[in-house]
Copies of this chain bind each other. A is one copy, B any other.
């Protein structure tokens, strides 16, 4: 075969290294702003040129304290521009950026910092008490830096102040690791996913395409999703590739977000359904309106309820309902308009957007039989199965694992249950561990929840399987009613009977004050099952 050693001529050498993103942004979009809204209400404004300059100064500060390529540099912080600087600084020195979720249990924080062998820890002062408690358990951490205070560790700005930014990014192989995120697994120890320079770059190039986030320099993006959640969906990288304006907020309250979106003319925002719920609740409570500058919302992390999709669409806002996970960098699918969009009714459009969209170029998905994974299911819009994924930004092996997380054909098991429609759109119906097996058939807990959420009296709903003497398992619906609203079990079951198969209708409804959530804002089925461990079906 014709190869490198046969000098035919060629294209230029250009390694897929992450520093190229910030170099591009600072060169072509130097004055495009990066705005930070801090927890205390104060704001900081910088731009892509400023981010690059500070990131270069951070590489100098890191080199001064002996950080080597491959060393792990941890952050324990909310979203702000200094956190962004630290991403490019840590990766730019050839290090591995390790973003930590501060909402994890302390035993998990103990585990992951020691597993990662983090050498440097950059944190927000809001987490100073947590850091103080954890410090004795984190022997590998040699240096603490505080992003927004001079106490109890050096202030980030003071730390980089002596540096002049006259430095070079670390060079290296494009398959060097640049980032580490641990999954907040519900069983066993968290698992570390290692992103490479190459995978991060291909993911960023895909993220800015129209079938994913469709980004350009005119976009003003508010990544509500925290930077410690699956790389904030890659937006801090993609934003540089596109030269977009980025707006960060250290708090995610509805009032703060609405105000920020209005003042900064945010055109697109990305977050999990719970933050959108908070935003809508604020709008309702204040008789306000969804900010007019907002053109697109990206929703992921868990499925957006259909009623919420419809509410945004009725306001003329484009809903981009996406799906992904830490193991997929994270974009797996994203929701775009279908070919027949112009002919669809609002109701049909909502149905399309309530699904999770299609894989962008690079990603492959398939569903296999839940009982027999060797059988690949047809894309018929009906067959629900275990969702598998593969592609250039999908995990092959977890950090320090002894075996690959995938087989020879690279398919990765997502733990989700999905249906693929003929035109390729993915509809998630459940997590494999949450699906309810009744009389040998599968019932989707997520679909039950989605329908229940459509009832005007329901604020939040969750369905779990409860052991049943005859059917193996039967669904129990757990409901939080809206303030001031009332609904009976029978009314709810009748309502459900109109929307799902008769045998799917939950045998009982339990009314509760609140449904437990995970640190990432999803319904915690694990906690819910624990709560209803002693539950007995009414006789």
Contacts and interface: CB of A to CB of B under 8 A. Distances in A.
Nearest to A245: B339
Interface string A10-37: 1111100000110010011100100000
A283 to B, nearest CB: 26
A47 interface: no
A367 to B, nearest CB: 14
B400 A24 contact: no
Q: How many copies does the complex hold?
A: 2
A386 interface: no
Given A2-B69, A69-B1, A209-B205, A8 B399 contact: yes
Contacts of A21: 361
Contacts of A7: 397
A401 B211 contact: no
Given A28-B424, A217-B339, A11 B210 contact: no
A296 to B, nearest CB: 12
Interface residues of A, number: 76
Given A173-B3, A358-B28, A337 B9 contact: no
Interface stretch (A52-60, A147-155, A190-198): A190-198
Given A11-B199, A24-B361, A392-B11, A210 B216 contact: yes
Q: Which of A1, A176, A401 has the most CB of B within 10 A?
A: A1
Contacts of A211: 216-217, 242
A211 B24 CA distance: 13
B361 A11 contact: no
A400 B28 contact: no
Nearest to A11: B199
Contacts of A395: 9-12
B70 A14 contact: no
Interface secondary structure of A, over-half rule: loop
A4 B364 contact: no
B9 A194 contact: yes
A535 interface: no
B69 A4 contact: no
Interface in A382-422: 390-401, 406, 410
Interface string A298-335: 00000000000000000000000000000001000000
A2 B217 contact: no
A361 B400 CA distance: 34
Contacts of A399: 8-9
Given A205-B209, A210-B216, A216-B210, A359 B8 contact: no
Contact of A218 (B1, B198, B337): B337
A206 B20 CA distance: 14
A94 interface: yes
A499 interface: no
Contacts of A364: 27
A121 interface: no
A175 B2 CA distance: 10
Contact of A210 (B6, B202, B208, B390): B208
B70 A2 contact: yes
A336 interface: yes
B208 A12 contact: no
A505 interface: no
A43 B226 CA distance: 53
Contacts of A394: 11-12
A62 B192 CA distance: 46
Contacts of A362: 14, 20, 24
Contacts of A472: none
Given A10-B177, A208-B210, A209-B216, 20 more contacts: A1-B70, A2-B69, A3-B173, A4-B175, A8-B400, A9-B396, A10-B194, A11-B199, A13-B410, A20-B361, A20-B362, A21-B361, A27-B364, A27-B424, A209-B209, A210-B215, A211-B217, A214-B214, A217-B336, A217-B339
8 contacts: A2-B70, A6-B70, A9-B400, A10-B175, A10-B395, A12-B390, A32-B339, A218-B336
Interface of A: 1-4, 6-14, 20-21, 24, 27-29, 32, 68-70, 94, 96, 172-173, 175-177, 192-196, 198-199, 202, 205-206, 208-211, 214-218, 241-242, 329, 336-337, 339, 341, 358-359, 361-362, 364, 390-401, 406, 410, 424
